[in-house]
Structure 1
Amino acid sequence: MTLKTEATLIVHGPPGSAPPVMADALRRAQAEVLPEHPPLSLRPMGDDPGVDSMEFMATKTGQTDLISTCTPVFIQAPLLRGMELTHRDLTPIARLVADRFFLVVRTDSGWDDIGAFLDHIRANTTRTGGYFLGGINHLLSLAIADQTKADVEFIVTESEPAVWNAMIEGRIDWGVGVAAEILPHVEAGTMKVLAVFDENRRPAFPNTPTLAEAGVPVTFQLWRGLMAPGGLSEEAQADWHEHFATLRDSAAWRDYLTRNGQEDAWLPGEPFRDFLEAEWDWYERHLGLAGLLPNT
């Protein structure tokens, strides 16, 4: 392993979102299994999630000590904004995990289970939210509305964590999020989980049914990974692959996966690049169907 200098990991999401949770797990994993390495330095850049990181890395072509967390927003934002800068101008390093979304409501909502919730939204207008149109929160709310023929109002919040503040304050009625986002609120007793967007129940909330069990077969799998500046040499890419493959074999990383109900989805290098092209096609199609792409 030749990666011995201090490295910086850009965290592309704001506090209270999922990327900082993953970044902290990577930092702890490196300290555990590679104590001889300088600590992994975390650089928050979540004011404009994904875009801030992409634009910053675009100015650091070939820099070998810089890497960023990444999620589908690295694809959604360029499509939705018509950006010239895309993931193709950067260096995909690896997909790390697969995650699932959960449908959550306030504990005092009066909906005891997913059946009661679905009965209500079929007969009443409800509000949900997310921090941008075309985000996963929005696409999943559109899917639920389509499956149930419900009238759902989507409210744009100022940030991803603000979705949960909006729910607590009563400005939205329900939301969708991953375990890393909702766990603090569930553990605090302010929210409860009604269903999971997957074919199977998830270990993070084993008693929570799937939406399909309630007759609404909406599923979604989210990925998280790592992206580096463009122009990275094959040798530098191989160093990053080896480095993060090593971090996966740590108690800190396994604890992160278990607590947040995620699965290892390791896919480094060229296969990850190919995966991103398939993701681009998927989002381009679905955002286009929703009428959210520029000039559509």
Structure 2
Amino acid sequence: MKKFKLASILLVLSLILAACSSSNDANNENASGSDFPTKSIELIVPYAAGGGTDSLARSFADQTDLGQSVAVVNREGGGGAVGMQNGANANPDGYTVSMITVELLTLPHSGLAQFSYEDFHPVALLNEDPAAITVSADAPWNTIEEFIAAAKEENLKVGNSGTGAIWHLAASALEQETDVTFNHVPFEGAAPAVTALLGGHIDAVSVSPAEVRTQVEAGELKVLAVMADERVESLPDVPTLKESGIDLSIGTWRGLAVPKDTPEDVVKTLEESFGETAQSEEFKATLDTLGLGYRYENAEGFTNLLKEQDALFAELIPSLDLN
């Protein structure tokens, strides 16, 4: 009788262990990406609803076909730090994706965040907008060389979107590359900086081409150079700084990433789907409508970009004494 009871107990235990093993196998299978995704994916946007990053995220989410819905969740705060920290700390199962921006690199080096780009596994770069030097249409400078020469003789006022913001960093980087000194004038965003330029209160702005496109098309402003590796499609006649011998490429970008420990096959599934959407004509048209620049990179290319720019900001930001 005792042997029977013992055998019964062992049988029950073996069944329980088998069930647990099957459950774990199923969970591992889902985690490994064989059936991924099996539920809705959350896309964290680290900025408020209605902005450029949010509009881009929602358009991309609507156009992406993963077999499951992609729900955008806004978690703003700290200049993007709150949302990106949430994304870095999320369960690495592929069901939480973050829209990351250049602030992923600038905030830590400014002492405003504890995360780093290494806390994420990049999946796809969707957008890039370089900085550009823009002046009034009737300004005496028609080339970036003339502008730099003038800056060596006088204290030119260059407007930006706020102290420590990417456009301030872009102008500061230009200073270092050309051995000039600007009078940096911060504004609460790019739009008021452009308004000040139109009013003749400053000499130039270092914001993106998209943020001056309307005024350039109206003949009120002119762009002297873009801080990009290649010329901007919307401004084909405007040279890059590199064409003038100034080795500087800097600007803002937006892309998608998951926590660093996400399984590689899950990342691959996301990369393939996101890449298909990002390279579609529909998405490119969306960016054009939003006035945003286009640049796609897969996981490897995006990772290389993060490494290169992190090294740039690690050197640049401490030299600015922003605190």
Which residue does the alignment assign to 1:29? 63
CA distance in 2, matches of 1:105, 1:136: 19
Secondary structure in structure 1 of the residue aligned to 2:78: coil
Q: How far is the alpha carbon of 1:152 from its aligned partner?
A: 0.9
- 1:94 corresponding residue in structure 2: 124
Distance 1:11 1:178, change over 3 A: farther
Kept after mapping to 2: 8 A contact 1:102/1:178: yes
Deviation at 1:261, TM superposition (A): 7.8
Structure 1 alignment gaps of length 5 or more: none
- Describe the shift of the 1:70–1:154 C-alpha distance in structure 2 as closer, same or farther (beyond 3 A): same
- Change over 3 Å in CA distance of 1:293–1:252 after alignment to 2: same
RMSD of aligned residue pairs (Cα, Å): 3.8
- Alignment of 1:113 onto 2:113: no
- Taking the TM superposition and a 5 Å limit, the aligned residue runs for 1:126-275 are 126-146=156-176, 149-168=179-198, 171-187=201-217, 191-198=221-228, 200-211=230-241, 215=244, 217-222=246-251, 223-229=253-259, 231-256=261-286, 262=293, 264-268=295-299, 272-273=302-303, 275=305
Q: Classify 1:155/1:282 alpha carbon distance in 2 versus 1 (closer, same or farther; 3 Å).
A: same
Deviation at 1:189, TM superposition (A): 5.5
**Partners of 1:185 and 1:45 in 2: CA distance:** 33
The residue type equivalent to 2:185 in the other structure is I
CA contact (8 A) 2:158 2:183 kept: yes
Can you list the C-alpha shifts for 1:126-183, whole angstroms capped at 9, x where unaligned? 2223345454423332343345554411133334555434444555431123333333
**Residue 285 of structure 1: aligned partner:** 315
Q: Any conservation in 2 of the 1:61–1:230 contact (CA below 8 Å)?
A: no
Q: Does 1:19 align with 2:53?
A: yes
* Change in 2 beyond 3 A, CA 1:180/1:22: farther
Q: 1:249 to 1:202 in 2, by over 3 A?
A: closer
How has the CA–CA distance of structure 1 residues 169 and 61 changed in structure 2, closer, same or farther, with 3 Å as cutoff? farther
Give the TM-score, by structure 2 length: 0.69
Q: In 1, are the aligned partners of 2:135 and 2:203 still within 8 Å (CA)?
A: yes
Q: Which has the higher contact order (CA 8 A, sep 6+)?
A: 1
Letter in 1 for 2:110: L
Question: What percent of counterpart residues are identical?
Answer: 21
d(CA) in 2 for partners of 1:172, 1:45: 35
Q: Is 1:85–2:128 an aligned residue pair?
A: no
Q: Is the 8 A contact 2:106 2:313 kept in 1?
A: yes
| Contact residue 77 and residue 83 of structure 2 kept, 8 A | no
Unpaired segments ≥5 residues, structure 2: 1-34
Select the structure that is richer in helix.
Answer: 2
Residues 148, 89 of structure 1: CA spacing in aligned structure 2 closer, same or farther, 3 A cutoff?
Answer: closer
Q: Deviations over 1:16-35 (max 9, x none)?
A: 975345435524533xxx39
Amino acid at match of 1:255: A
d(CA) in 1 for partners of 2:249, 2:320: 20
Task: Note the alpha carbon deviations across 1:205-248, whole angstroms, 9 max, x for none.
Answer: 012233455x5625305453212345434443233212202212
2:22 — aligned with what?
none
Query: TM-score, normalised to structure 1's length?
Result: 0.74
What is the aligned partner in structure 2 of residue 3 from structure 1? 37
1:113 is aligned with what amino acid? N
Going from structure 1 to structure 2, the CA distance change for 1:261 and 1:293 (only over 3 Å counts) comes to closer
Contact between 1:204 and 1:258, CA under 8 Å: does it hold in 2?
no
